[in-house]
Each structure stands twice: as structure tokens, then as C-alpha cells.
Structure 1
Amino acid sequence: MGLDAIRAALPEYARDIALNLDTTIGTSLLTPAQAWGAALACAVTARNPVVLREIAAEALGHLGPEGVEAAKAAAAIMAMTNVYYRAKHLIGDERYASMPARLRMRVTARPGVDKGDFKVWCLAVSAIAGCGVCLEVHEKSLRDRGFTGEQVHEALRISAVVHAAAVTLDAEAALAGGTTPSA
């Protein structure tokens, strides 16, 4: 199943997304663990049940149980920090910049996997959330760890394609259900 099931579920108008699943995850410049961890963290973030189930099933073989938990932890911690740091930035008032977050983020210090891999996953999730502050911090951290611009770019590509697959399947499910908001 895995990516095959997602590709099969995508409608014809999203054929480009289906084709991009293989080229972004399957033939990435990232290691398999980095690519599949990014895909899983992004699938958690994108919240589509089909995309999440299928990527999680296939990611397990590339990450093992510890890697799966770490990828989910990356999505969870970034769900919190992306909102917090993006909001502080968007408010634009320097008074907030000096205020400490006072939010627990211990998993970032001990993620249970290689810290570089974890940072790749955090960067990918931050792309979906659109947090410029987090993108800048994680990109710099990755570059300081020796990651190339091409590797960072690969994480962004994975993020974009996983998110697009989730959005497309959510739209198709909503249209098939024929639900309309109540008046």
C-alpha cells in the first residue's frame, strides 16, 4: 500500500501530485530516514487520514518504531511552536520578541533520533505551517550541521507534495460527502 494507495486515491486532475510522490520521497537526496521522517511529520501536520495512514505504514520500514515516534514528536512540537513564533512575528511588536516562550520543548534536545534528521522534519513541518521564523532557525541549524541547500530544498519539496496530496484528498472527501454548513 503506502504511496501506491495514495496515488490510486488521487483524482486525475492531481496526477502531477501522484507523480511527485515518488520523485520527492522515493528518489530524494536525503537519506531514506530523513525523507520518510519528513513525509510522516508532514502527513501528521496535514491531517488527512488516508495520507497519514499510508505514509505511516510505509515509513515504519524506513524509520523503525523510534523514528516513527520521533517524526510524530516533530509534528507535535512544531504544531505548538509554529503557531507561537509565527504569531509573535506577525504581531510585529518588538516587546514580544524579548519575552521568553516558557513552553516546554525538551524533545528538541533529545528526540531519540539523529538531531539533524529531527531538524529536517521540523523544517518540513514549518513549511506547511508557514512559520518564517521557524523556517529560518531550522534552515540555519541544518546548514550549520553540514546539510546542503539541495538537502534543505528536498525537505521543502516533500513538504509541498505531502500537503498537496492531503488537501486534494480532503477536498474529494468533502465533495463526495455532499455536506454543506448548516444555516
Structure 2
Amino acid sequence: LDSVLSESGAPGLVQKQIAIIALASAIASRHAPLTRALRGHFADVLSEAEANGARAAAAIMGMNNIYYRFVHLVEDEEYATLRASLRMNVMSNPGCEKIDFELASLAVSAINGCGMCMASHEKTLRKHEVAATSIQSAARIAAVLHAVAVALEQADAAA
């Protein structure tokens, strides 16, 4: 966990990006104690608006990942032509930098297993000249945070 939460362990990302991605990933992993611990750990790094950006990424992607995974997996192209009608106003002003929101959204989409959303966010990030190593670091943070949440949940259940 320590290795992916540092700039040396997350190549291409700065500490604020690491914090936003980690917080969004913890929220998406649904482990409240881990989420609280990370919010405390990054209290000096993230403003309340930036922490809200991480929360927004987790919430919006939680909704979008389910819907777009359905569209992708149901194997009926008609659904892709229908209007989604999902409210995503927060994306216009998420409280953090747009690239940071995209990185967090990619990480949450990875946790939630939505290939369509991962591909979309990766494409947007690359269009904005974000390096592959930065994108990989976001995915690694998501993977590690999710693994920690699962392990902690299991430890809580066994206690």
C-alpha cells in the first residue's frame, strides 16, 4: 500500500493525483474504515473540494459503470443507440482538475469492471497527452486499494 501511495511508487503522478485516485478507489471498494484512513492520511494534500471530486468520481462511475457494462454485455446494439438519461452534471465542475477526475474515474471503472468506461477514460487521458505510465499508475492504485479493502473486510469478518 505504501509503495503505490508515493510518487516513486506511482510513476507519472503527483501526490495530489495519487490522493484523489486513492480516495475514489477506497470509496468504490466500499470499505468505510479504509476510506476514513485515507482521507486522514491525505488531509494535508487534498482540499475539501478535491476530496469531493474523488467522491464524485466514485459516485458517477458507480452509476455509469453499471449502465454501460449493461449496454456492452447485453449484446443488443439497440441499447447503444438509446439515450442514457443519466445525470452527470458534476462532471462539468468536479472540484478537482479535469485530468485528476479522469484518472480517478478510470481507477473506479477498473474496480467496477467496466471495460467500456475504462476504454473511454483511457482514450480521453491519452488525448490530453497523459502518459501510459501515469494511467498504469492509476490502475495499480485501484488494484492495490481494492485488494486492501477486501483483505480488511475479510479480517473484520473473521474477528
Q: TM-score range by the shorter chain?
A: over 0.9
Cα pair 1:60 1:68 within 8 Å, conserved: no
* Alignment match of 1:155 (pick from 138, 141, 144): 138
Aligned to 1:63, the other structure's residue is in SS state coil
Question: What is residue 14 of structure 1 aligned with on the other side?
Answer: none
Structure 2: gaps spanning 5 or more residues: none
Q: CA deviation at 1:145?
A: 0.8
Structure 1: gaps spanning 5 or more residues: 1-20, 177-183
Q: CA deviation at 1:63?
A: 1.4
Counterpart amino acid of 1:98? T
Counterpart amino acid of 1:148? A
Q: Which runs of 4+ in 1 moved over 6 A?
A: none
Question: What is residue 96 of structure 2 aligned with on the other side?
Answer: 113
Supply the distance in 1 between the matched residues of 2:46 and 2:19 (Cα, whole angstroms). Answer: 7
Structure with more of its chain in helix, by fraction: 1
* Alignment match of 2:38 (pick from 52, 55, 58): 55
State the Cα deviation string for residues 91-141 of structure 1 (Å, max 9, x = none). 011010101111110111221221001000000000000000000000000
Question: What is residue 140 of structure 1 aligned with on the other side?
Answer: 123
Cα pair 1:43 1:51 within 8 Å, conserved: yes
Map 1:12-161 → 2, pairs under 5 A: 21-26=1-6, 27=8, 28-29=10-11, 30-161=13-144
Q: CA deviation at 1:60?
A: 2.5
Supply the distance in 1 between the matched residues of 2:95 and 2:49 (Cα, whole angstroms). Answer: 7
Supply the distance in 1 between the matched residues of 2:126 and 2:158 (Cα, whole angstroms). Answer: 42
Aligned to 1:60, the other structure's residue is in SS state coil
Aligned length: 156
Cα pair 1:59 1:68 within 8 Å, conserved: no
Question: What is residue 165 of structure 1 aligned with on the other side?
Answer: 148
Supply the distance in 1 between the matched residues of 2:29 and 2:22 (Cα, whole angstroms). Answer: 10
Supply the distance in 2 between the matched residues of 1:160 and 1:167 (Cα, whole angstroms). Answer: 11
Q: CA deviation at 1:33?
A: 1.1
Counterpart amino acid of 2:156? A
Provide TM-score, normalisation by structure 2. 0.95
Supply the distance in 2 between the matched residues of 1:58 and 1:166 (Cα, whole angstroms). Answer: 16
